[in-house]
Amino acid sequence: MGTYTFARVPVAYVKFTVAGTYHTSGVPVAGQFADTISLSAGTLLDGALRDQGWWTDTFLVGSTAEGTATGEGAAYGQPGSASGIHLDTTHATAAYVFPVSLVVDPQVGHDVTILFTLNTYEDFHWEDETQTGYKAGVFDVSYGAFEPVTQLGANSFSVTME
């Protein structure tokens, strides 16, 4: 009961697929990057416990996996600044933190469900670079390097009470 001015919604991991081009030996190959990043420590992903920052990336051409890379220490893109949402990874359990105006009336004599809905539609943005073969508006990746990710994660939210 009371008035709340911000919300903290725990998040274990993100999974997303991004269309892009992989550049290898001067040859651009169009496909999709299917990525998973563990945002919280002790996250169960595909039957294994993963540390915060663990990641995997599979490059797909059609439905064929052409290669997979896995590692630790993932760099996290933040949600868009206009969203008012911040991804806090300073604790073992990561969380989306955002402002709310939520009043829980002390006269309510029953349990209330509060639903936080975070929108992640078209939430992946990057900064185009001008390297040979890279195209504007295309997420370009070369072995061990990729264009800087400037936004990743929830880009808007809604709060409802039932």
Q: What is the pLDDT of residue 154?
A: 84
Give bridge partners of residue 10 from the DSSP assignment: 95
* CB-based contact 35:121 (threshold 8 Å): no
Per-residue pLDDT of the chain (162 residues; tens, 9 = 90+): 688 899 999 999 999 999 999 998 889 999 999 999 999 999 999 899 999 999 999 999 999 999 999 999 987 778 888 888 999 999 999 999 999 988 888 888 888 888 888 888 888 889 999 988 899 999 999 987 899 988 888 888 888 888
Q: Taking the model in full, what pTM does it have?
A: 0.85
Count of CA atoms in the C-beta half-sphere (13 A) of 117: 6
Buried b (16+ CB within 10 A) or exposed e, 6-28: ebeeebbbbeeebebbbbeeeee
Q: Total structural domains in the chain?
A: 1
* Residues spanned by the domain of 157: 2-161
Rounded to whole angstroms, the Cα distance separating 133 from 48 reads 38
